[in-house]
Structure 1
Amino acid sequence: MVRFKKIIAIMLSVSLCTTFTVGCSKKEDNKQEVEKDKLQIEKVEMPSTGIVSDGNGWELWDKDDHTTTDKRGAVGENAVVASGKYEASQAGLEIIKAGGNAVDAAVATGFALCVVEPNATGIAGGGCMVIRNQDGTSTYIDFRETAPSAANPYMWNLDSEGIDIDKANENGGKSVAVPGQVAGLIYVFEKYGSGNLTLEEVMTPAINLAQNGYYVTPSLLKDMLSVEEMMQKYPELKKLILNKDGSYYKVGDLYKSEKLAQTLKLIAKNGKDAFYTGDIAKSIVDSAKKYGGIITLEDLKNYKVVESKPVEGTYRGKKIISSSLPSSGGTHVIQSLNVLENFDMSKYGLYSPERFHLLSETFKMVYADRAEYMGDKEFIDVPESGILSKDYAKKLANKIDMNKSQVPTKDDPWIYEHEDTTHYSVADKDGNIVTATQTINWTFGSGVVVDDYGFVLNNEISDFSTDINSPNRVESGKKPLSSMSPTIILNEDDTPFMVVGSPGGSRIIPAITQVISNVIDYNMGIQESIDAYRMYDNTEDKIVYEGGLSKETIKKLESMGHVVEQYVDGYNKYFGGVQGILYENGKLTGGADSRRDGKAEGI
Structure 2
Amino acid sequence: MLRSALLIALLLCSAGLVSAQPKAETVTSKGGVVVCVSPPAADVGLAILKEGGNAVDAAVATAFAMAVTWPEAGNIGGGGFMMVAAPGKAPTCFEYRETAPASAKVDLFADGKVTWLNHKAAGVPGTVRGLALAHKKYGKLEWKTVVAPAAELAEKGFVVNTALAGGLNRVLADPKTTNVAFKLTYGKPNGETWKGGDRLVLKDLGRTLRIIAEKGADAFYTGELAELLDKEMKAGGGLITKDDLAMYKANEREPIHTTFRGFDVYGPPPPSSGGVALAEMLNTLETFDLKAKDRWSPETSHLVIETMKRAFVDRARHLGDPDFTKIPVELTTKDYAKKLAQKIDTRKATPSADLAPEIKLNTESGSTTHFSVIDKDGLAVSNTYTLENSYGNRVVVRGAGYILNNEMTDFNPRPGFTGTTGEIGTKPNQIAPGKRMLSSMTPVIVLKDGKPYLVTGSPGGRTIINTVLSVVLNVLAFDMPVDEAVSAPRFHHQWLPDVTRFEGGKTHPELVMKLKALGHTLVEHRQGDAHSILIDPKTGVRTGAADKRLDGKAVGE
Contact 1:104 1:189 in 2 (8 A): yes
Q: Is the 8 A contact 2:202 2:401 kept in 1?
A: yes
Gaps spanning 5+ residues in structure 1: where?
A: 1-65, 159-163, 413-418
- Of 542, 545, 549, which aligns to 1:591? 545
Q: Distance in 1 between matches of 2:484 and 2:132?
A: 34
Partner of 1:455: 402
1:294-325 residue CA offsets vs partner (Å, 9 max, x unmatched): 11000001110111111100111111111000
Instruction: Tell me whether 1:446 sits opposite 2:404 in the alignment.
Output: no
Q: Is the 8 A contact 1:231 1:238 kept in 2?
A: no
Q: Which secondary structure does the structure 2 equivalent of 1:449 belong to? A: coil
CA contact (8 A) 1:322 1:487 kept: yes
Secondary structure class of the residue paired with 1:299: helix
Q: How far apart, CA to CA, are the structure 2 residues paired with 1:230 and 1:458?
A: 19
Q: Which amino acid aligns with 2:510?
A: E
Range that drifts further, 209-218 or 321-330: 209-218
User: Is 2:167 aligned against 1:223?
Assistant: yes
Distance 1:397 1:353, change over 3 A: same
1:581 aligns with 2:539: no
Deviation at 1:394, TM superposition (A): 0.8
Please give the per-residue CA displacement for 1:483-503, whole angstroms capped at 9, x wherever unaligned: 111111111x21221111111
- Say if 1:130 and 1:436, in contact at 8 Å, map to a contact too: yes
Cα deviations by residue, 1:465-484 (Å, 9 ceiling, x for unpaired): 12324210111000000011
Residues 1:332 and 2:284 aligned together: no
Alignment counterpart, residue 411 of structure 2, candidates 464, 484, 490: 464
Select the residue among 123, 136, 149 that pairs with 1:205. 149
Q: Which moved more, 1:512-521 or 1:536-545?
A: 536-545
Percent identical = 39
Distance 1:463 1:455, change over 3 A: same
C-alpha root-mean-square deviation of aligned residues, in Å?
Answer: 1.9
Q: 1:439 Cα deviation (Å)?
A: 0.7
User: By how many angstroms is 1:370 displaced?
Assistant: 0.6
SS at match of 1:508: helix
Among candidates 459, 472, 488, match of residue 516 of structure 1: 472
Distance in 2 separating the partners of 1:329 and 1:308: 14
Identify the match of residue 489 of structure 1 among 441, 446, 471.
446
Amino acid at match of 1:400: I
Q: CA separation in 1, counterparts of 2:522 and 2:134?
A: 43
1:465 and 1:157 map into 2 onto residues whose CA distance is 9
* Whole-Å separation in 1 of the counterparts to 2:233 and 2:294: 51
Instruction: Return the letter of the residue paired with 2:166.
Output: K
Q: What's the CA shift for 1:135?
A: 2.7
Alignment of structure 1 residues 355-366 onto 2, 5 Å: 355-366=300-311
1:420 deviation in Å?
A: 0.6
Secondary structure at 1:423 match in 2 = strand
Per-residue CA distance 1:379-408 (angstroms, 9 max, x = gap): 11111x211011111111111112111113
Q: CA deviation at 1:156?
A: 3.5
> How many residues were matched structurally?
515
Distance in 2 (alpha carbons) for counterparts of 1:230 and 1:474: 29
Aligned with 1:378 (options 323, 328, 345)? 323
Aligned to 1:192: 138
Q: Distance in 1 between matches of 2:197 and 2:281?
A: 41
Structure 2: state its 5+ residue gaps: 1-18, 358-365, 417-426
Quick one: distance in 1 between partners of 2:502 and 2:109? 34
Q: Does 1:145 align with 2:103?
A: no
Give yes or no for contact 1:172–1:288 (8 Å, CA) kept in 2.
Answer: no
1:555 aligns with 513
Distance 1:489 1:522, change over 3 A: same
- Following the alignment from structure 2 to structure 1, what is the Cα–Cα distance between the partners of residues 60 and 320? 28
Contact 1:498 1:580 in 2 (8 A): yes
Q: Is the 8 A contact 2:21 2:489 kept in 1?
A: no
* TM-score computed with the length of structure 2 as normaliser: 0.89
CA distance in 1, matches of 2:446, 2:104: 38
User: What CA distance in whole angstroms lies between the structure 2 residues aligned with 1:530 and 1:392?
Assistant: 29
Alignment of 1:268-347 (within 5 A): 268-347=213-292
- Distance in 2 separating the partners of 1:219 and 1:67: 18
Structure 2 residue aligned with 1:174, among 116, 120, 126?
A: 120
Compute the displacement of 1:206 (Å): 1.1
Report the 3-state secondary structure (helix = DSSP H, G, I; strand = E; otherwise coil) of the residue aligned with 1:320.
Answer: strand
The letter for the 2-side match of 1:455 is Y
Alignment of 1:478 with 2:432, yes or no, is no
What secondary structure, in the 3-state scheme, does the structure 2 residue paired with 1:452 have?
coil
Match of 2:89 among 108, 118, 136: 136
How far, CA to CA, are the matches of 2:480 and 2:262 in structure 1? 17
Q: Which amino acid in structure 1 is aligned with residue 375 of structure 2?
A: D
Distance 1:169 1:187 in 2: 32
State which structure, 1 or 2, has the greater radius of gyration over its C-alpha atoms: 1
Q: Does 1:234 align with 2:234?
A: no
The whole-number CA distance in structure 1 between the counterparts of 2:234 and 2:286 is 50
Residue type of the alignment partner of 1:362: T
> 1:283 offset after TM fit, Å?
1.2
**How much has 1:86 moved relative to structure 2?**
1.5
Using the TM superposition, give the Cα deviation of residue 368 of structure 1 relative to its aligned residue in structure 2, in angstroms: 0.9
1:456 partner SS: coil
Q: Deviations over 1:48-82 (max 9, x none)?
A: xxxxxxxxxxxxxxxxxx99945621111111111
Return closer, same or farther for 1:232/1:587 CA change in 2, 3 Å cut-off. Answer: closer
SS at match of 1:351: coil
SS of the equivalent of 1:471 reads: helix
Contact 1:131–1:434 (Cα < 8 Å) also in 2: yes
Shift of residue 410 of structure 1? 4.5
SS in 1 for 2:462: helix
Post-superposition Cα deviations, 1:105-128, rounded to whole Å, max 9, x if no partner, equal 111111111111111121111111
How far, CA to CA, are the matches of 1:108 and 1:68 in structure 2? 29
Partner-residue secondary structure (3-state), 2:428: coil
- The code of the aligned residue for 1:304 comes to K
Confirm or deny: 8 A CA contact 2:388 2:406 kept in the other structure.
yes
Q: For 2:235 and 2:174, how far apart are their aligned partners in 1?
A: 18
More RCO (CA 8 Å, sep 6+):
2
- Cα separation, partners in 2 of 1:71 and 1:531, compared to 1, 3 Å: closer
Which SS does the other structure have where 1:581 is aligned? Answer: strand
Residue equivalent to 2:337: 393
- CA–CA separation in structure 2 for the residues paired with 1:108 and 1:527: 25
Residue type of the alignment partner of 1:183: R
Letter matched to residue 118 of structure 1: P
Shift of 1:157: 4.8
1:231-273 deviation digits (Å, cap 9, x = unpaired)? 6531111112211122321233221212211111110000112
Distance in 1 (CA, whole Å) between partners of 2:269 and 2:225 is: 31
* Cα 1:74/1:534, change in 2 over 3 Å: same
Q: TM-score, normalised by structure 1?
A: 0.82
Q: 1:69 to 1:301 in 2, by over 3 A?
A: same
Q: Offset at 1:525?
A: 1.2
AA partner of residue 119 (structure 2): G
Q: Which amino acid aligns with 1:357?
A: H
